Amino acid sequence: MEKKKIYIFDTTLRDGEQSPGASMSSEDKLVFAKQLSHLGVDIIEAGFPVSSPIQFEGVKIISEEVRGVTIAALARAVENDIKVAYDAIKNAEKKRIHTFIATSPIHMEYKLKKKPDEVLKMAVNAVRYAKSLLDDVEFSAEDATRSDINFLKEVFLAVVEAGATTVNIPDTVGYTTPFEFYNLVKSIKEVIGDRAIISVHCHNDLGLAVANSLSALLAGAEQVEVSVNGIGERAGNASLEEVVMSINVRNDIYPFYTNINTKEIYKTSKLLVSITGLPLAYNKPIVGRNVFAHESGIHQDGVIKHKQTYEIMKPEDVGRSSSEIILGRHSGRHALKVKFKELGITYSSDEEFEEMYKKFLEIADKKKNVYEEDLLTIFSQNIDDSKSVYNLQSVQIISGDKLLPTSTVVLKKGNREYVESAIGNGPVDATFKAIDKIVGIKGIKLDDFSVHAVTSGKDAIGEVNLSIHSDNMSFSGHGTDTDIIVASAKAYLNAINKVLYYRNSQVNLP
């Protein structure tokens, strides 16, 4: 079967930015738009220019600096909105005006206070005016899934006649269901045919945005409107990464393709988190922290033997480094043996390992997760000297308004202590540079850094997770402490020790 191209219309910078707390500066928008271009989206909805001068400026900058992708601007079915939208995107290499008006009875009566024939006239006039300014015009029937189907068909036919090249069927309040939406899109497709691209824009109020979007594609839609991490009004929009990877993983069901470079997905997701500050749920599909993490002993044993036993996609496919074995009370012996091998922890017999396993379970019963530094501390007498690790002894920071942040770090390896100082952009940066001086590894790049509180109160324990890039691989690190600088140092050193162990194991390969 021949695969059909699906156009990815990204609305992270418009609908996504309307999430509470997700507003972005013009500079942030430009950075993210450039990443969306690298990701391979077809259309970037850059904003709603008439809503504020900042919105206008953000859309204008993106239109002038981001090439190779269509830049869309949203406008109500009002001439001034459309004129302002055009002014914002007129310098784009490829540009689109996206105009809309509500078509549901409840919106027409209570929000617009207009009769259906007035709404129809406004829709047609808006599309005609937009078409006089440029060729690429999209029309959306807001709240389409609660609209009268016959009126919806009448509106869509009229705007296509007026010049609309794309007609969008939004599930504005996340009300529809997959089977119902399939039938709606199919009926619109039968009326519109190939005269315009049919698009869908689904919200997630009932948790069905992705399912509804995929059903719409099967019914004949050719464009899907999505946002990175699924951010958007209320419960958010259909998630770009979930829609795209559903198509990729289940191509037997969804005979489509997109231009998305899936290896850029995780990077794009993390960039959005860093810009907006909106955290991801650990179990967020595709990009969440736990998606490729395994704690259950049965799952760990299966993944260690063959990853496809419990993973339907490769972490590398979405730009993640590798699967992760999480040690906890549910972990089995096989997973612990693998982790011991990674850390250079040895045992002389099965009986000795069983004693070590019992000790591990005692710790696991007291802690939610058992981290590598716990294993290194508990089983330090079992560490192979040839693969011994650096341990953090102390960190001393000098910093202030008129002082350059300086960190002095003391590390211990075996029986020897190492001391170095470094200046950085901040206390954490200075600490990492001091550690780099001691271990002597060149070309380390910090990929990701996150901090959160494990406990509450003034003596709260902070947890730091990070990943670094070296030798064309990513290595994760974890650290906890009541002092965030110390927790950061532990996490960084945890990752550095993995790099050193990896290099040592590579050198000794036959």
CA–CA separation, 353 and 318 (whole Å):
37
On whether the CB atoms of residues 424 and 431 are closer than 8 A, the answer is: yes
Q: What is the pLDDT of residue 123?
A: 98
CA–CA separation, 368 and 294 (whole Å):
14
What is the residue-level pLDDT of the chain in tens, covering all 510 positions?
689 999 999 999 999 988 877 878 888 999 999 999 999 999 999 999 999 999 999 999 999 999 999 999 999 999 999 999 999 999 999 999 999 999 999 999 999 999 999 999 999 999 999 999 999 999 999 999 999 999 999 999 999 999 999 999 999 999 999 999 999 999 999 999 999 999 999 999 999 999 999 999 999 999 999 999 999 999 999 999 999 999 999 999 999 999 999 999 988 998 898 888 888 888 899 988 777 664 455 555 554 565 566 566 778 888 866 555 567 667 778 778 877 776 667 788 888 888 888 888 877 777 666 766 567 656 655 555 445 578 899 999 998 877 899 999 999 987 889 999 999 999 999 999 999 999 998 888 888 788 876 655 656 567 777 778 777 777 778 787 888 899 899 889 888 887 887 676 553 333
Q: Which of 158, 122, 159, 157 is nearest to 137 (CA)?
A: 159
Q: Which helix (H) or strand (E) holds 408?
A: strand 403-413
Q: What is the pLDDT of residue 452?
A: 72
On whether the CB atoms of residues 4 and 34 are closer than 8 A, the answer is: no
Q: Which of 71, 69, 68 is nearest to 59 (CA)?
A: 71
CA–CA separation, 162 and 153 (whole Å):
14
Burial class (CB in 10 A: 0-12, 13-18, 19+), 432: buried
Q: What is the pLDDT of residue 509?
A: 32
Q: What is the pLDDT of residue 75?
A: 98
Ramachandran assignment for 497, one of left (phi > 0), alpha (psi -120 to 50 degrees), beta (any other)? alpha
Three-class DSSP labels, 11-69: CCCCCHHHCCCCCCCHHHHHHHHHHHHHHCCCEEEEECHHHCHHHHHHHHHHHHHCCCC
The domains found in the chain, sorted by start residue, are 4-276 (3.20.20.70), 293-383 (1.10.238), 387-507 (3.30.160.270)
Name residues whose C-beta falls within 8 Å of residue 107's C-beta, 6 or more positions apart in sequence: 142, 143
CA–CA separation, 470 and 499 (whole Å):
7
Quote the tokens at residue 31.
């950075």
Rg (CA), the chain: 27
Q: How far is CA 268 from CA 74, 113, 263, 353, in A?
A: 23, 41, 10, 42
Residue 80: Cβ within 10 Å count = 10
Torsion angle in degrees (nearest 10) through CA of 266, 272, 273, 275: 140
Q: Which amino acid is at 252?
A: D
Q: Which helix (H) or strand (E) holds 419?
A: strand 416-423
CA–CA separation, 432 and 440 (whole Å):
12
- pTM for the full predicted model: 0.71
Quote the tokens at residue 339.
């982790």
CA–CA separation, 102 and 42 (whole Å):
25
